[in-house]
Amino acid sequence: MRILTAFAVPFVLSSATHAQQTVNSVTDGDWWDPFTWDCSCVPGNTALVTVDHYVTVDGGMNKGGGSLTIGPGGVIDNYTVIQLGCKVVNYGYMVLEDLWIDADMEQFENLGIIDCYRIANYREDLYNDGYLMVIDTLYTYSSITNGPAGYFSAYAIKGDEEFENFNVADFSGVGSTGIRFFNHDTLEFHASAGSVARSIINDGYLVLHGLRVDTLLNEGSINSATITIGAYYSGAGEWLVMPVSQDIIVDTNSTMIITAPGRLNVSDGDLTVYGAMEGSGCVIVDGTTMNHGSITGTLDICDLSPTTTQAPILDVNTGTVSSGVTFCMSTACSVGFGPESRLSQITLFPNPANERVELWGLGSEVAEIRVFDLQGRLQVLSIQVAGPSRGIDVSLLTAGSYMVHVVSGAKRTVIPLVIGR
């Protein structure tokens, strides 16, 4: 992938002549061809230019003054670099290689179509109410607004500013970004491995596939909101998950959809459902689980500190839970809170067990092993030292289901255990 430093300095238009002239295209042609324009000249740097024909820009361009308006039938076609500091309004079609938008530009407004390989945006509040498609990366050093009629699509967006969406925006390979997203309609991420977003505030429709969000706030009470969480298997034994270090609230009239192999990890907070939670993925909650709405599908929910032995294994349930929902049963729910906090793959044998259970896969790590019943009461505590296999005595446990918590330093995992007699 080419990087931003590959941007070349385009040819600078002269401002010595034709100051503040009004120039209109009269035929298809090249920007640098005088016969393309009604003035029979090349537009100056401060000219007020309107393009209503198919105009190519051979060799790039730097227009820092005046204005550039592309009419509904106009096309700007360039395969090098265009640097714009003038007022720009596009109603037509811009096909560009690299677009550089200066910080002191008076206005940049897209109401038509921009198809670009890469953009560097320095202007405060770039506004799109048309189709803006970036094949590679949008580098932004100021805020961007995708308006009520806007469609925004990019492989990646990088920067540390704000992106506010009022219609449809999607990203297919986000990477690490410091962008703060505000979504009021439809925002989708189908991200590559290791993709991170700084924060998302959502009161619209939000799809998260393979993206980790440092801060996620779902304001479904403002507008009917849906969050879809999915993940991809990396091929290296890791699931890309959605970790959240705060409370998650699914408001009334809102829906959270978690599709397998997607996993929502609420690592330092509570989960409260007033609306609907559905899907086929996995939910792991370190705090309190409360359902006052509906939980449906084939979700597997694992409350790491349960207060009940009766299904549904939720701390508070005044809503409905469908029969397909399980509790701490899936393999995904046994791997902990994400790749960075996982122990090596651990298995219990035998399971179901009677007298003793062996834990395989701990390697040389010192581990604390705790066995809880489904009311959250500690039944067995064992400190284990080095060795590939370590056993714990479960002969005093009554028949039933238990949760085995394995902790080594900052890493942990939770594994369901069944005692049979």
- pLDDT class for 34, splitting at 50, 70, 90? very high
Distances (CA, A) of 316 to 87, 352, 408: 58, 28, 30
Given a cut of 60, whether residue 362 has pLDDT beyond it is yes
Given a cut of 90, whether residue 242 has pLDDT beyond it is no
Q: How many CA atoms does the CB half-sphere of 102 hold within 13 Å?
A: 15
Beta bridge partners, 197, equal 213
Domains of the chain and any CATH numbers: 4-333 (no CATH), 343-419 (2.60.40.3080)
Residue 46, SS3 per DSSP: coil
Q: What angle do CA 76, 80, 86 make, to 5 degrees?
A: 55
What pLDDT is recorded for position 49?
Answer: 97
d(CA 304, CA 28): 68
Distances (CA, A) of 189 to 172, 181, 291: 6, 11, 27
- pLDDT class for 40, splitting at 50, 70, 90? very high
What pLDDT is recorded for position 340?
Answer: 44
d(CA 113, CA 136): 16
Give the H/E segment covering residue 198.
strand 186-202
What pLDDT is recorded for position 194?
Answer: 55
Range with the largest mean pLDDT of 124-138, 308-322, 323-337 = 124-138
Q: How many CB atoms lie within 10 A of CB 385?
A: 10
User: Is pTM, for the whole model, over 0.85?
Assistant: no
Backbone angles phi, psi at 354, to 5 degrees: -120, -65
- The residue among 166 and 376 whose pLDDT is bigger is 166
Instruction: Determine the average pLDDT of the residues in 225-248.
Output: 46
Pair of tokens at residue 260: 């397998």
- pLDDT class for 145, splitting at 50, 70, 90? very high
Question: Which amino acid would we find at residue 260?
Answer: A
Question: Which amino acid would we find at residue 116?
Answer: C
Can you say whether the dihedral through the CA atoms of 194, 7, 143, 146 is positive or negative? Answer: negative
Given a cut of 80, whether residue 343 has pLDDT beyond it is no
Residue % of the chain over a pLDDT of 70: 73
Residue % of the chain over a pLDDT of 90: 31
Given a cut of 50, whether residue 341 has pLDDT beyond it is no
Give the DSSP per-residue string, 106-139. Answer: S-EEESSEEEEEEEEE-STTEEESSEEEEEEEEE
Pair of tokens at residue 358: 């062996």
d(CA 36, CA 212): 50
d(CA 332, CA 284): 9
Distances (CA, A) of 150 to 127, 129, 146, 165, 245: 9, 4, 5, 8, 32
Mean pLDDT for the chain overall:
78
- pLDDT class for 240, splitting at 50, 70, 90? very low
CB of 281 closer than 8 Å to CB of 262: yes
Q: How many helices (H) and strands (E) does the chain have?
A: 0, 42
In terms of Cβ atoms closer than 10 Å to its own Cβ (0-12, 13-18, 19+), residue 28 is exposed
Range with the largest mean pLDDT of 229-243, 311-325, 346-360 = 311-325
Q: What is the pLDDT of residues 283-313, one digit of tens each?
A: 888 778 889 999 999 998 988 777 776 788 8
Beta bridge partners, 272, equal 249, 290
Given a cut of 90, whether residue 219 has pLDDT beyond it is no
Q: What angle do CA 378, 382, 387 make, to 5 degrees?
A: 145
Give the DSSP per-residue string, 72-111. Answer: TT-EEE-SSEEEE-SEEEESSEEEEEEEEE-TT-S-EEES
ω into 148 cis (within 30 of 0): no
- The residue among 217 and 34 whose pLDDT is bigger is 34
Can you say whether the dihedral through the CA atoms of 343, 349, 354, 356 is positive or negative? Answer: negative
Q: State how beta strands 248-250 and 242-244 pair.
A: unpaired
